[in-house]
Amino acid sequence: MSSFFPQGKPLGRDPLLPATAAAGQDSQYTAAEAQLRADINRRYADILQNLGHTNEAGQFIPGEVEAQAARQRPEIQRNQQFAREDVTKQSQREGTLFSGLRAENTARAEHPFVQALSDLDVDVPKQLNRLYEDAGRTLQDYTIQNNLLLADAAARASARAMAAGGGGYGGGGWGGGSPDDIAGLNGPVQGAPAEGFTWNQGVADSYWNQVNADRINQGIQRPDDPNSWWNQPRA
């Protein structure tokens, strides 16, 4: 029995999940993504067990669906042959070996087995097609769930950045800045920071040099980007 795959593309054992980006990750995201990756790999492996796959040498390894069909087909064909022989023997005993009745009885006896073989030819490709689609949905599930994890990680990073800003904007912390002035967001800075710090990167105790390293570690700031919050004009 030949292998059937939609679009003629058997799947490999490795689902080839995308590598995770380094920026914006924290330990909570790393743990959750690792668990998600393990679950996706397990689901993918279960699908391939039934669907089949190509090995490292490019050879196709049939899955359980085709293997079971390969076992059923010769068994059905043997039973069809036995039914045909039984009709022949019965016709010999009844003296109808060369009559039309024998042909009619033979067709009737073989019908269940002919139908079973036909069902195999229809059902197996359908099963393989469903499994192939399941594999595709499994990989899509990783992308969707990972995007949600990344969004949660970004929210946590933003919260940490706001907490690191001290008193917040407009409340004495940053001299009347807007919400865009905090958490490493781009936008105009309407006031200089409080507590006597300056924006001069050349001054060791300046505000920029006090907090920038921590913000970079959070994956928020890019001081080399001319559009970043750090490089906006400041009073």
The pTM assigned to this predicted structure is: 0.59
187 pLDDT above the threshold of 80: no
Query: Which pLDDT score, from 0 to 100, does residue 13 have?
Result: 84
Cα 97 from Cα 2, distance rounded (Å) = 38
Lowest mean pLDDT among 103-117, 189-203, 221-235: 189-203
pLDDT band per the 50, 70, 90 thresholds, residue 163: confident
**3 state DSSP class of 163:** helix
Helix spans in the chain (H): 27-51, 64-94, 100-164, 207-217
CA 73, 76, 80 angle in degrees (round to 5)? 135
10 pLDDT above the threshold of 90: no
pLDDT digits (tens, 9 = 90+) for 67-78: 999 999 999 999
Burial profile 146-176: b = 16 or more Cβ within 10 angstroms, e = fewer:
beebbeebbeebbebbeeebbeebbeebbbe
Lowest mean pLDDT among 86-100, 165-179, 216-230: 165-179
Cα 5 from Cα 67, distance rounded (Å) = 15
For residues 159-184, give the mean pLDDT.
51
Q: What is the mean pLDDT of the chain?
A: 75
